[in-house]
Structure 1
């Protein structure tokens, strides 16, 4: 039934675009996408938190690798390129990173490795999303991503048709997304480390929006707090879900907890960083030292997904304390937790939520 609903909504979306003069090619951003919460080392993970562009009747599956390593198989969406984001779900100072991804037969397989602070491998549940895009979007909607290999851009996408660039290295990079600019802070960012051989954490180090481009700093660190030259992925979204899609899903939201000392509940400003597709007002509040509860009202519909990333110039990082929930249409993220080494602290973060519907 859900698959039928997804197809029907897709058809209605195309009809609406044609009626308003927006062609399918202009709006054809996501070609393939999928998300999941991996809470097992083998088998089918949580069905309430997995969805994708595959046909009905298929499931995400997981197989174990080495210590702290799992392989996530997204069915029927084999494709090159794209980006992966991963967020650890744990009450401890753990993080997860992508190691690699690519086609395996008709499926797409992602290798994920998780660590505790200090670099010891450990399995922990995590949320994972994959997305690959082409096409353009009419402003103010915007979507772009970069997969940086550690030595250069491996793949990139820009919904304005621009060519994204990366400068720098040694743990600090400047990413320019031309044509996706805004007059002030607007949208959301997610960053994930990509490294097959060593512990790596990456984050948004800084953000300078301008009318002509979004300019973002990416910072990466090793198993402790030293800058690290490594690969990473970055995604910028504005009035689109983290999967690159919209209508469907009609239920998605994101926020930027840019004043973490505020006990709240508060609605982050400026409003364009606190977007809700159903016109709800997202709020953030303290749940304890370093713990921030995020509420996304009116958009909480299963199957759904959350990603979070830290913001700032230091080695701090963030994860999710536990699996989010939905109640009365509200998605409840309890909590985003941030760390300096193994110590929780109040720290800025960027959080994004999407339903499949």
Structure 2
């Protein structure tokens, strides 16, 4: 059939680009015209939907969209402090706690069942106590973290503590950066890097590791680091032994000790944050802050430098001042909104460790940590430390 006869035959196969129409014998030219318009409308809708799905996928990749939760565990059984717990679960759920052995508690984060992620724990006590993670993982629809607390020397003891869990994927635009590592003492268990490359861990000597987070670098120190021991078999505590920044990577040294001051090969978690909350959520809260008390002999109040280690999401100036030997009062202005959370980590090459002497105070949009307290053995000492604060909002 030639083109002229094809135009004359209203029942012929018609081509429009790659789309072929077959016209049934009972159809006329008006029917074909309506069909063509309908197909064009459908193609337009599909094009819009495809563009929207691409935008959603790109946005999800550019965020850190997964699961998080925090709590102030002030009891061994039941629902802990409601003013200081929050998470990515739906409304109507709560964190719950169940007792284990002496000094051991099981913390259930509702609706967060997932493998991987990291846990950080900080003891809240008026003496030389610390808490460590033993393990965590999905149980049914929930995530359960097991926490064990000790006093210096290794005796198990219950003390209140703050705990945070988070698990992330995706890419972040610089200068924002977020990364973590869960290491079992010999190899990486799970990790995340918001720039995309894989983090690496190099053992140095017993109880010491160098952690490299490539792609998260900065021209000088910037951000904050938190470290927590992970051990199910014996007392262990870990800290930041050193930290350096370069344009290509952040390099952090992790140091761990046993129940006294002996270096210990143990598991640990590390989180690096820069202009992101410690929870690492997809849409970060409006209110969060962190600081590095790198001159603990300064009576203050002073604002740690460089400014990039003293970040406040609302533009406030965080300050640190002495509150007695080994005790530092940290103020986070403009960001104090319940429900909220604090973690602290000691810094330095020795066996010192830090905790919170009591629960922080949140009032008038100011969060006051009274106090970060550090120990060498059972003695309070002035010691550099890293503190991070976040609200759920």
TM-score (structure 1 length as normaliser) = 0.93
Map 1:227-306 onto structure 2 (within 5 A): 227-245=263-281, 247-306=283-342
Residue 324 of structure 1 pairs with residue 360 of structure 2: yes
Which residue of structure 2 aligns with residue 14 of structure 1?
none
Q: Give the number of the structure whose alpha-carbon radius of gyration is greater.
A: 2
Residue 62 of structure 1 pairs with residue 104 of structure 2: no
CA distance in 2, matches of 1:192, 1:329: 28
Which residue of structure 1 aligns with residue 220 of structure 2?
184
Residue 109 of structure 1 pairs with residue 144 of structure 2: yes
Give the CA deviation at 1:246: 6.5
Contact 2:178 2:276 in 1 (8 A): yes
Which string of whole-angstrom CA distances, capped at 9 and with x for unpartnered residues, describes residues 209-258 of structure 1? Answer: 11000000000000000000000000000000000137440000000000
Structure 1 segments of 4+ aligned residues over 4 angstroms from their partners? none
CA distance in 2, matches of 1:184, 1:26: 27
Secondary structure of residue in 1 paired with 2:79: coil
Contact 2:168 2:281 in 1 (8 A): no
CA distance in 2, matches of 1:313, 1:24: 41
Aligned counterpart for 2:191 among listed residues 156, 177, 191: 156
CA distance in 1, matches of 2:231, 2:331: 32
Contact 2:64 2:282 in 1 (8 A): no
CA distance in 1, matches of 2:199, 2:282: 22
> What is the number of residues matched between the two proteins?
339
Which residue of structure 1 aligns with residue 180 of structure 2?
145
Give the CA deviation at 1:23: 3.6
Give the CA deviation at 1:22: 10
Residue 133 of structure 1 pairs with residue 168 of structure 2: yes
CA distance in 2, matches of 1:27, 1:281: 28
CA distance in 2, matches of 1:244, 1:34: 10
Contact 1:30 1:243 in 2 (8 A): no
Secondary structure of residue in 2 paired with 1:288: coil
Contact 1:170 1:227 in 2 (8 A): yes
Aligned-residue CA RMSD (Å): 1.4
Secondary structure of residue in 2 paired with 1:298: strand
Give the CA deviation at 1:150: 1.4
CA distance in 2, matches of 1:195, 1:38: 19
CA distance in 1, matches of 2:283, 2:333: 18
Secondary structure of residue in 2 paired with 1:59: coil
Contact 1:240 1:246 in 2 (8 A): no
Can you give the 5+ residue segments of structure 1 that lack an aligned partner in the other structure?
A: 1-17
Aligned counterpart for 1:193 among listed residues 204, 210, 229: 229
Aligned counterpart for 2:253 among listed residues 197, 214, 217: 217
Which residue of structure 1 aligns with residue 208 of structure 2?
172
Which residue of structure 1 aligns with residue 15 of structure 2?
none
Aligned counterpart for 1:311 among listed residues 324, 342, 347: 347
CA distance in 2, matches of 1:143, 1:118: 34
Contact 1:26 1:138 in 2 (8 A): no
Residue 120 of structure 1 pairs with residue 155 of structure 2: yes
Give the CA deviation at 1:21: 11
CA distance in 2, matches of 1:245, 1:31: 6
Which residue of structure 2 aligns with residue 47 of structure 1?
82
Q: 1:21 to 1:45 in 2, by over 3 A?
A: closer
